[in-house]
Amino acid sequence: VRIENRSDKPRRLSLTYALKPVLSDHGDSSQTSLATRVQPELRGVSMVNTYHPDFPQTQAYLLTNESNSSYSG
């Protein structure tokens, strides 16, 4: 995505990304079983569902090439 300010007025832009990971075959019901961890050295967040019997070590990552100012979730 490329955004260009075509006016003479300075602008500030915030970008928010929402993620709803599914790390099981149960969709929404697995949300309470997910553990997340901020990993600054990777510039991202890792997620794991340690309660799923078939994939106890499977991880998912959300990474960025920008510095992150905040996380929630």
Proportion of the chain above pLDDT 70, given as a percent: 79
Residues in the chain: 73
How many Å apart are CA 42 and CA 60, to the nearest integer? 13
pTM for the whole thing?
Answer: 0.58
Mean pLDDT calculated for residue range 4-30 = 79
How many Å apart are CA 65 and CA 44, to the nearest integer? 9
